[in-house]
């Protein structure tokens, strides 16, 4: 696989900025998917799958000998956050922005497609552009697609950029890499009454006051511990903004987070128990949102990435703890692939992910392309046992 030319890098930067201007949020990535599919077709993909799990796109680049299937995955979706910047290519869509770097992730994988004009000697490469990562729904939707068995990989790799770390540093971690998380929506219903006679109604207010204290108290330990748990209250609403009505309805939203899926199961059960204990007499509905399984990085896949980074002379960091934020890439490991998520530094002074002034650094594109291509070279050359 020949290195990218300066002209190809310029094309990738221009495309990233084009994508940056037109972000589409989870489940709405139709235009982005069409744009990506057109690029993959122009680059001569051997096979193309569209509409995977929604708007997902996958491309196959096959070698001439039998060998493993290696999947490289990136994300299509932006965020429902208003971008605040003076960039000439800032978002043109009100209230939406590529403020997590998925625009950069996409063009990094397209850069690999450019270099796959020279096919691998054996096996095949699948480039997956996944929908709906930000809601935690996209990876599972792709796996549930009836065409997934045609794609299912032996190994899967992806990366996420990490602000606050040196540009191009390759973060590696075997085992738990990103926390499990899920949103817990608690809807309470009692009985309204005149504010002069609250005793004739049933207000969810007292139960909500208790839950606002006891649910965050589920937090336990630190990210260094497998028992780590974090419960963050994110939203509360009680009744209507009036003075004459004692309320009947209330809602709380809380995000649960843990290092492992097993700890999440226990955390959910305890949260439900506390809701039942404090909301007696009220009608209660609990709905789960944005369900992310933990990312658990396979030892063999992580070591392959480690050797590739070492070959390239890249700065490496053996991460002592997982990331507290979540990523739905873990679903591919759950599905049987030997999977590893890599963490590439995007600059020590870079605004944080999901900040309104975040922008993916273009200088990270060739680093990611080179790392992915070295992984493929190491795994899919005829000399590889």
- Looking at 292, 308, 330, the residue that finishes a domain is 292
Contact present, 98 and 22 (Cβ < 8 Å) = no
Q: Are residues 239 and 92 in the same domain?
A: no
Q: Are residues 116 and 19 in the same domain?
A: yes
- The answer to whether residue 133 sits within a structural domain is yes
Distance of CA 355 to the CA centre of its chain: 16
Q: Are residues 15 and 111 in the same domain?
A: yes
- The answer to whether residue 53 sits within a structural domain is yes
Q: Are residues 342 and 371 in the same domain?
A: yes
Which residues touch 150 (CB under 8 Å, ≥6 apart)? 49
Helix (H, G, I), strand (E, B) or coil at 120: coil
Classify burial at 147, counting beta carbons within 10 Å of its beta carbon; exposed 0-12, middle 13-18, buried 19 or more: middle
- The answer to whether residue 114 sits within a structural domain is yes
pLDDT above 80: residue 316: yes
We report the CATH number of the domain holding residue 276 as 3.30.70.360
Q: Are residues 341 and 313 in the same domain?
A: yes
What mean pLDDT comes out for the span 175-201?
98
Q: Are residues 87 and 105 in the same domain?
A: yes
The four Cα atoms 241, 243, 245, 249 give a dihedral, to 10 degrees, of 30
We report the CATH number of the domain holding residue 316 as 3.40.630.10
Residue 194's pLDDT band, with cuts at 50, 70 and 90, is very high
Size of the chain in residues: 385
- Looking at 292, 327, 354, the residue that finishes a domain is 292
Which residues touch 98 (CB under 8 Å, ≥6 apart)? 19, 20, 23, 78, 79, 91, 360
Contact present, 68 and 89 (Cβ < 8 Å) = no
Could you tell me the pTM of the whole model?
Answer: 0.95
CA–CA distance, 293 with 33 (Å, rounded to integer) = 25
Residue 3's pLDDT band, with cuts at 50, 70 and 90, is confident
Measured at the alpha carbon of residue 200, what is the angle toward residues 195 and 204, in degrees to the nearest 5? Answer: 75
Q: Are residues 67 and 88 in the same domain?
A: yes
Q: What is the maximal distance between C-alpha atoms in the chain?
A: 83
Backbone angle region of 347, left / alpha / beta, with phi > 0 → left and psi within -120 to 50 → alpha: left
Helix (H, G, I), strand (E, B) or coil at 89: coil
Q: Are residues 97 and 45 in the same domain?
A: yes
Among the listed residues 151, 156, 109, the one whose alpha carbon sits nearest the alpha carbon of residue 301: 156
Half-sphere exposure of 27 (CA within 13 A, CB side): 5
| % pLDDT > 90, the chain | 97
Count how many domains the chain has. Answer: 2
Among the listed residues 180, 166, 161, 110, the one whose alpha carbon sits nearest the alpha carbon of residue 342: 161
Hey, what are 44's tokens? 């001569």
Q: Are residues 174 and 184 in the same domain?
A: no
CA–CA distance, 94 with 304 (Å, rounded to integer) = 42
pLDDT above 80: residue 144: yes
- The answer to whether residue 385 sits within a structural domain is no
- The answer to whether residue 358 sits within a structural domain is yes
How far is the first Cα of the chain from the last one, in angstroms, to the nearest whole number? 19
Q: Residue 135's pLDDT is what?
A: 97
pLDDT above 80: residue 383: no
Residue 2's pLDDT band, with cuts at 50, 70 and 90, is confident
Q: Residue 385's pLDDT is what?
A: 63
**Tokens 């975040």, located at residue:** 358
Q: Are residues 31 and 164 in the same domain?
A: yes
The four Cα atoms 301, 306, 307, 308 give a dihedral, to 10 degrees, of 90
Q: Which domain holds residue 284?
A: 180-292
Q: Are residues 304 and 284 in the same domain?
A: no
Write the DSSP string, 242-262. -SSEE--EEEEEEEEEESSHH
- The answer to whether residue 148 sits within a structural domain is yes
- The answer to whether residue 1 sits within a structural domain is no
Q: Residue 170's pLDDT is what?
A: 98
Quick: pLDDT tens for 15-55: 999 999 999 999 999 999 999 999 999 999 999 999 999 99
What mean pLDDT comes out for the span 190-209?
98
Residues forming beta bridges with residue 127, ordered by sequence position: 59, 72
Q: Are residues 256 and 266 in the same domain?
A: yes
- Looking at 228, 258, 292, the residue that finishes a domain is 292
| % pLDDT > 70, the chain | 99
């Amino acid at each position: 696989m020949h290195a990218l030319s300066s002209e190809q890098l310029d094309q990738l930067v221009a495309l990233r900025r084009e994508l940056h201007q037109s972000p589409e949020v989870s489940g709405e990535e139709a235009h982005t998917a069409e744009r990506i599919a057109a690029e993959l077709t122009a680059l001569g993909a051997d096979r193309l799958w569209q509409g995977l799990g929604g708007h997902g796109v996958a491309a196959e680049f096959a070698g001439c000998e039998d060998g493993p299937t290696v999947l490289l995955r990136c994300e299509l979706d932006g965020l429902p956050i208003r971008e605040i910047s003076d960039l000439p290519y800032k978002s043109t869509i009100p209230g939406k922005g590529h403020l997590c770097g998925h625009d950069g992730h996409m063009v990094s994988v397209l850069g690999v497609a450019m270099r796959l004009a020279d096919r691998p000697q054996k096996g095949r490469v699948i480039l997956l552009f996944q929908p709906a990562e930000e809601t935690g729904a996209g990876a599972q939707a792709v796996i549930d697609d009836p065409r997934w068995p045609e794609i299912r990989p032996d190994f899967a790799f992806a990366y996420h950029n990490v602000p606050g770390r040196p540009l191009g540093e390759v973060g590696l971690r075997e085992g738990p890499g990103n926390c499990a998380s899920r949103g817990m929506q608690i809807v309470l219903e009692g009985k309204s009454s005149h504010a002069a006679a609250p005793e004739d109604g049933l207000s969810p207010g007292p139960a909500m006051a208790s839950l606002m204290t006891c649910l965050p108290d589920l937090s336990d330990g630190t990210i260094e511990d497998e028992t780590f748990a974090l419960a963050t209250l994110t939203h509360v609403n009680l009744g209507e903004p009036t003075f004459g009505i004692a309320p009947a309805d209330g809602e709380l939203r809380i995000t649960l987070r843990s290092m492992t899926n097993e700890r999440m199961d226990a955390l959910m059960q305890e949260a439900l128990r506390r809701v039942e204990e404090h909301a007696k007499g009220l009608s209660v509905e609990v709905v789960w949102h944005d369900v992310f399984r933990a990312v658990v990085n396979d030892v063999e896949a992580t070591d392959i990435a480690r050797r590739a980074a070492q070959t390239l002379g890249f700065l490496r960091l053996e991460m002592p703890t997982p990331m507290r934020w979540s990523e739905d890439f873990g679903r591919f490991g759950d599905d049987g692939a030997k999977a590893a998520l890599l963490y590439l530094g995007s600059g020590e002074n870079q605004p944080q992910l999901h900040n309104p002034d975040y922008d993916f650094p273009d200088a990270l594109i060739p680093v990611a392309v080179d790392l992915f291509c070295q992984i493929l070279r190491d795994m899919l050359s005829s000399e590889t046992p």
